[in-house]
């Protein structure tokens, strides 16, 4: 029995079993690659293939700015080219993300009508920012009526009272703007399934995003805890299986001893850094290093196992 255990490797398995393992490794690699694609769209700055050090610091540690702003104000002022999510921007909620067929409907309008529509939508965004800069008064929210700091060109449906001499609004239905541009997604059974997790349909839900902060804060503890839970369980199972498969290859023992637990170990370190990054931006920057170590180890595990299943690995020593 001891001799059999000593010499057993993947090449000893029947061909159907080796085929199953090979397909498993290929499919799990595709799943890992899709995760990198998600990172690109969710956290990477425009022009970056993957998040850089500034992106990682912004997400996990936060990035102080000179002017204190609420979370909602930060999202409404952020560049429109950033990812459309809670760590990027919400500006497109007034334009490209305001309806499903935005581009098609916009194309049907004349150039003058397009210009007018875009100006009105920008007025809606500026009205909401005006409310936030005024301290987001609850009275204006309850009455659905806000006196603007300066007149704005805005969608007719949101105008309260008379316009000024230049046809601009001086008072607007601020709650209606929030409902149409934010709550349409951020509510139960809303237009966006991910946004449903962060409801804005009632004042008590909206209020926590109105708190003024020195700058974009770190990832919320509730979200970080949920992400940690999912990644620890999911990745431990994935790297445990790929590590186990690699440990049964014919590669030299020292390679298998080092590489088999490698991604699982560095993934645990990576997740620990997520929490430490809330305290120190250096820990956030170190996430790039641990992420690369995890990805490199996983790639070598898959490649090495596939080569061994094909009979192309070096014999054990």
Res 264: pLDDT? 95
Domain boundaries, the chain: 2-51+219-309, 65-213
- Average pLDDT of the chain to the nearest whole number: 87
Beta-strand relationship, 169-172 and 146-152: antiparallel
Beta carbons within 8 Å of 161's beta carbon, 6+ residues apart: 170, 171
Residue written as tokens 């085929």?
19
CA 207/CA 200 separation, integer angstroms: 9
Res 12: pLDDT? 80
Query: Range with the lowest mean pLDDT among 157-161, 247-251, 292-296, 307-311?
Result: 307-311
Q: Which tokens hold the place of 277? A: 């990054």
Distances (CA, A) of 274 to 92, 166, 176, 213, 263: 29, 52, 38, 21, 16
Res 216: pLDDT? 57
pLDDT digits (tens, 9 = 90+) for 57-111: 877 877 655 567 888 998 999 888 888 888 789 999 999 999 888 999 999 999 9
Model confidence band, residue 217 (pLDDT cutoffs 50, 70, 90): low
pLDDT > 90: percent of the chain: 55
Q: Which tokens hold the place of 289? A: 């290093």
What average pLDDT does the segment 252-278 reach? 93
What average pLDDT does the segment 40-51 reach? 76
Res 303: pLDDT? 94
Res 3: pLDDT? 42
What average pLDDT does the segment 274-282 reach? 87
Angle, to 10 degrees, between the axis of helix 221-247 and the axis of helix 15-43?
Answer: 150
Res 65: pLDDT? 53
Model confidence band, residue 140 (pLDDT cutoffs 50, 70, 90): very high
Model confidence band, residue 2 (pLDDT cutoffs 50, 70, 90): very low
Task: Give the number of other Cβ atoms within 10 Å of residue 232's Cβ.
Answer: 13
Phi, psi of 70 (to 5 degrees): -80, 165
What average pLDDT does the segment 9-18 reach? 84
What average pLDDT does the segment 204-215 reach? 82
3-state secondary structure the chain: CHHHHHHCCHHHCCHHHHHHHHHHHHHHHHHHHHHHHHHHHHHCCCCCCCCCHHHHHHHHCCCCCCCCEEHHHHHHHCCCCCCCCCCCCCHHHHCCCCCCCHHHHHHCCCHHHHHHHHHHHHHHHHHHHHHHHCCCCHHHHHHCCEEEEEEECCCHHHECCCCCCCCCEEEECHHHHHHHHHHCCCCCCCCCCCHHHCCCCCHHHHHHHCCEECCCCCCCHHHHHHHHHHHHHHHHHHHHHHHHHHHCCCCCHHHHHHHCCHHHHHHHHHHHHHHHCCCCHHHHHHHHHHHHHHHHHHHHHHHHHHHHHCCCCCCCC
Res 277: pLDDT? 86
CA 302/CA 28 separation, integer angstroms: 9
Res 7: pLDDT? 61
Higher pLDDT, 315 or 54: 54
Q: Which tokens hold the place of 86? A: 């809670």
Res 5: pLDDT? 46
Query: Range with the lowest mean pLDDT among 132-136, 200-204, 279-283?
Result: 279-283
Beta-strand relationship, 212-213 and 69-70: antiparallel
CA 84/CA 97 separation, integer angstroms: 9
What average pLDDT does the segment 119-141 reach? 95
- Residues pairing with 212 in the sheet: 70
Task: Give the number of other Cβ atoms within 10 Å of residue 30's Cβ.
Answer: 8
């Amino acid at each position: 029995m001891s001799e059999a255990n000593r010499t057993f490797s993947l090449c000893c398995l029947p061909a159907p079993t080796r085929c199953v393992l090979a397909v498993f490794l290929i499919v799990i690699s595709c799943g890992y690659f899709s995760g990198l694609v998600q990172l690109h769209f969710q956290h990477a700055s425009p022009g970056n293939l993957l998040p850089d050090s500034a992106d990682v610091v912004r997400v996990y540690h936060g990035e102080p700015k000179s002017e204190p702003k609420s979370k909602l104000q930060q999202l409404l002022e952020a560049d429109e080219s950033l990812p459309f999510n809670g760590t990027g921007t919400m500006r497109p909620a007034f334009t490209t993300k305001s309806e499903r067929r935005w581009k098609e409907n916009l194309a049907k309008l004349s150039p003058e009508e397009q210009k007018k529509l875009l100006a009105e939508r920008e007025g809606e965004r500026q009205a909401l920012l005006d409310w936030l800069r005024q301290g987001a008064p609850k009275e204006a929210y309850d009455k659905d009526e806000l006196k603007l700091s300066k007149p704005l060109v805005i969608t007719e449906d949101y105008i309260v009272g008379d316009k000024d001499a230049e046809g601009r609004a001086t008072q607007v239905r601020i709650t209606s703007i929030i409902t149409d541009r934010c709550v349409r997604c951020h509510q139960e059974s809303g237009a966006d399934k991910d946004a449903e997790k962060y409801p804005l349909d009632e004042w008590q839900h909206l209020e926590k995003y109105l708190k003024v902060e020195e700058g974009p804060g770190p990832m919320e503890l509730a979200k970080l805890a949920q992400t940690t839970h999912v990644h620890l369980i999911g990745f431990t199972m994935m790297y445990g299986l790929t590590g186990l498969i690699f440990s049964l290859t014919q590669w030299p023992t020292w390679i298998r001893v080092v590489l088999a637990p490698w991604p699982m170990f560095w993934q645990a370190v990576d997740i620990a850094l997520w929490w430490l990054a809330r305290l120190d931006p250096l820990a956030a920057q170190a996430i790039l290093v641990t992420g690369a170590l995890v990805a490199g180890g996983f790639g070598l595990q898959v490649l090495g196992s596939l080569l061994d299943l094909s009979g192309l690995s070096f014999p054990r020593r």
